[in-house]
Homo-oligomer: A and B are copies of this chain.
Amino acid sequence: MTLLDPAIGDPAHADRLDAADPLAPFRDEFVIDDPTLLYLDGNSLGRLPRATDARLRSFISHEWGGELVRGWDRWIDLPLEIGDRLAATVLGAGPGEVVASDSTTVNLYKLASAALKARPGRRVVVTDRDNFPTDRYVLEGVAAAVGGEVRWVVADAVEGPQTGDIAPALDADVALVSLSLVNYRSAAIADMAAIARAAHDAGALVLWDLSHAVGAMPIDLEATEADLAVGCTYKYMNAGPGAPAFLYVRRALQRELRNPIQGWFGQRDQFAMGQGYEPVPGIGSWLTGTPTVMGLEAIDEGVRLIGEAGLERIRAKSVALTEHAIGLYDAWLAPLGFTLGSPREGSRRGAHIAVRREDAARVCAQLIVAGVVTDFREPDSIRLGLSPLTTRFRDVHDGLARLRELAA
């Protein structure tokens, strides 16, 4: 337990933090339908940017409704264009290394299947027991499909898998190490560079799920020597429910790995509609079927907003928001029997925190009735997502004050 800040618990203190917040004006860029709602779940579904609202309305009426099929002259390039913007603005990747396509689940499947094919003789995938469910299920499936298996790492539920947890699981049978950068429950951050080094030393590839990180913290896929990555866009990228996910393949691997789902959007000279699948060279070969154009438009606005705010400033505010929440946890919730489900060290923590108590499910349901939206996560976590562009320090204060009342 840290020493309590004497100002913690004073709403005026939270207001002062908001007044000093250089990113505070960004909240006005979002649709805030109900200003009394305390929305602490932007890590599950991000808020709607005003610009996206306007752009999608215009898209529907004028592009789909007006341009009709001629719109494809522009839309056809969006998966790669948006991919390049994601790469440059939020992923630390180069042009031609990222596409926006399909869902995180389908992208994980494509990349993990391809990684296993590219490492014949190796049939083990290493991941951790606390990885996000769809990652675990997909990896089980792709490993079983080649007669292999998942080698499960059991790490500390709060601190997440450390390099020291992963390294002992690596040997000459391992084709792929697949982990989340930020754990969906605890927000523990994995050490991308160290884990990639360990994987590479063992001759394995590394595949990151960036869903709970992208748009909330700087990511440098290049510098951390990531081989493969996926992530969703409906959390901190604010692209809406079911917007396309993204997928990254390091340029040096693009000749070696092959998309198992051979769709027409990955075909060279697509509209020649010729005989025989012949993938386009490069990242475009990871496209499959017709992309969700509205979702791509929404990602574009999300990337623009994140770029304007700047990931360094976003991360600084994010750490301050979660510090503030942990301060309130120490003052108000620890005495009520809660434990902290997230790392205390700011540099090891993403943009959400979990507080744990046996009756978390019940409390979480009561919170929604009381106008505070959080998430319950099995078995005992209340997850508070503090999306940096739309969450005020005062929201954190008020939300945790209501949580204290309900849990007392």
Whether A294 pairs with B262 at a CB distance below 8 angstroms is no
What is the 8 Å Cβ interface bit string for chain A, positions 54-66, against chain B (1 contact, 0 not)? Answer: 0011001110111
Whether B290 pairs with A66 at a CB distance below 8 angstroms is no
Residues on B with C-beta less than 8 A from A291 are 103, 242
Residues on B with C-beta less than 8 A from A140 are 262, 276-277
List A residues 41-60 near B (Cβ within 8 Å).
41, 44-45, 47-48, 52-53, 56-57, 60
**A241 CA to B294 CA in the complex, in Å?**
8
Residue A316 interfacial (CB < 8 Å): no
**A45 CA to B266 CA in the complex, in Å?**
20
- Of A104-112, A168-176, A329-337, A342-350, the one with at least 4 CB within 8 A of chain B: A104-112
Residue A281 interfacial (CB < 8 Å): no
List A residues 110-130 near B (Cβ within 8 Å).
129
Whether B56 pairs with A68 at a CB distance below 8 angstroms is no
- Partner pick for A277 among B44, B141, B275, CB 8 A cutoff: B141
Task: Report the minimal beta-carbon distance from A28 to chain B, rounded to whole angstroms.
Answer: 14
Interface range, A side? 35 or more
User: Whose C-beta in chain B lies nearest to the C-beta of A54?
Assistant: B60
Whether B60 pairs with A48 at a CB distance below 8 angstroms is yes
Task: Report the minimal beta-carbon distance from A24 to chain B, rounded to whole angstroms.
Answer: 20
Whether A45 pairs with B72 at a CB distance below 8 angstroms is yes
List A residues 128-158 near B (Cβ within 8 Å).
129, 132-134, 136-138, 140-141, 145
- Of A31-39, A86-94, A188-196, A247-255, the one with at least 4 CB within 8 A of chain B: A31-39
Task: Report the minimal beta-carbon distance from A259 to chain B, rounded to whole angstroms.
Answer: 8
Whether B48 pairs with A294 at a CB distance below 8 angstroms is no
- Partner pick for A295 among B109, B232, B264, B292, CB 8 A cutoff: B292
Task: Report the minimal beta-carbon distance from A78 to chain B, rounded to whole angstroms.
Answer: 10
Whether B102 pairs with A102 at a CB distance below 8 angstroms is yes
User: Whose C-beta in chain B lies nearest to the C-beta of A245?
Assistant: B289
Further contacts, 7 of them, CB under 8 A, given A31-B61, A140-B277:
A45-B68, A45-B69, A53-B61, A69-B373, A133-B267, A138-B261, A242-B290
The residues of A with any CB-CB pair to B shorter than 8 Å are 31, 33-34, 37, 39, 41, 44-45, 47-48, 52-53, 56-57, 60-62, 64-66, 68-72, 75, 102-106, 109, 129, 132-134, 136-138, 140-141, 145, 232, 234, 240-243, 245, 260-267, 270-277, 288-296, 368, 373, 375, 377-378
Nearest 4 A-B pairs (CB), nearest first?
A103-B289, A105-B289, A141-B262, A105-B263
Show 8 A/B contacts (Cβ-Cβ < 8 Å), sorted by A.
A57-B57, A75-B241, A105-B289, A138-B263, A140-B262, A234-B290, A242-B290, A243-B292
